[in-house]
Each structure stands twice: as structure tokens, then as C-alpha cells.
Amino acid sequence: MVLQQSIKIKSIITIGLLSMAFYFIGVYTDSFIVRMITKPLPVIAMLVLLKPINHYSKFIFTGLLFSVVGDLLLEYSASLFIYGLIAFLLAHITYIVAFFKRSKRIALIPLILLMAFGIVIYWLLYPELGNMAHPVLIYIIVILIMSWRAAAQGNYDKNAIYAVGGSVLFVLSDSIIAFNKFYVEIQHAGYLIMLTYWAAQSLLFYSVYSHQIAEEQSGT
């Protein structure tokens, strides 16, 4: 049973890694079909492995589902950017709920640092946003709340550290998107965005999955 589970895990991880590689090939060759097929597969692989057995894992699972929708919308057409933004907004809201269920601490220092970061980012982007000013502001507020709630977890066990790392990488990934789209073209932005994005989702996934593995090994 343990061997079968190990083979399953390794197979799904391999599929996820191969999907990432083929996605970058699709970016390099400008193949729309390859990008559409491979972009959501790493997160889908995470969903296959994840068992939503408690409140935290259920909300992380739901956030990953919304992320798959966002991936497809953003890849399909630039005209669907606002809808992709909404999908990821919903993903971040579910992550916020997940983290809030773990801890209701204020965590003032992370809050102040993230507020300062958000103010600077929005101040730089605002002149270029046009009619996207309000949607982008809302998105910035929500993703920074998500990162704050991840950082507000009191007991920094390895699962909490994974969550904090994932939230920070998500902020980094979306900051690259925003700057590349509205402020200045960033060289190799597509690769940087996806690498940080997949790393972020992997850490958020692992904040659940590492506990799931421990439970399965203990037989509970």
C-alpha cells in the first residue's frame, strides 16, 4: 500500500514537472495549444494528491481550483484578464479564510510591512492603470491580506513556514505580472512569473500535504 502510494505520488509529481517544462517550450515556440494544455496541469496534479479532510485543506483545495480557472482564462486571451483576475481574487479569499481558521493573531509587523509595500506598488502603477485602477487596487489589498494572514500564524511549524513562503512568492509573482503589464516590460517576465507562481502554489499545497503524509504514515 505504501509502495503504491509512493509510486502514485512520484508519477503525479513527474507529470507536474514535465508539464512545466512543456509549458516553457510552448512559450518559447509560441504554441498556444501547448500552453493551454500544460499551464494548468501542475496545479491539477496538486489537486489530485490533495485530500480535503479538514477546514484548512478544503479552503486550500478550493483556492487551487480557482487558480486553475484563472490560469486558463489568462492564457486563453488577454481580453479575459479581468476575469482571470477575479478567479485569482477568489483563490486568495479562500486562502485568507484557510489561514484565518488557523490563527486570528493581529501580527502587526507583517501587516505594516505589507501595507507599506502595497502603497509603494500602487503609487508606481497608478498613472498607468487607467480604468483598471480600482480592480488592481482591490486585488493588491486582497493578496496582501492573504500574505498577512499567512504570516500571522502563531506557531511557525513547517506547515506554517510553507504557507508563508507560498504567500510571499505569490505576491512576488503577481507583482511581476503587474509591473510587466502596466509599468515596464520585464525581460523573460513570462518565465519568472510562472516559476514563482508554481513555487508559490507548491508551497501552499505542501502546507497541507506534508501534514496529510504524516497522518497517512501514522495510519490515522
Task: Give per-residue pLDDT as tens, 78-116.
Answer: 889 899 999 999 999 999 999 998 888 888 999 999 999
Q: What domain range is 47 assigned to?
A: 2-218
Q: If pLDDT is split at 50, 70 and 90, which confidence band does 4 have?
A: low
SS3 helix, strand, coil % of the chain, rounded to 5? 85, 0, 15
CA distance 220 to 214: 9
212 contacts 57 by C-beta, under 8 angstroms: yes
Sign of the dihedral defined by the CA atoms of residues 146, 149, 151, 156, in that order: negative
**Choice among 11-20, 80-89, 197-206 with the minimum mean pLDDT:** 11-20
CA distance 196 to 160: 19
Length of the chain: 220
Q: What's the mean per-residue pLDDT of the chain?
A: 89
178 contacts 136 by C-beta, under 8 angstroms: yes
What per-residue confidence (pLDDT) applies to 217?
Answer: 60
Number of domains in the chain: 1
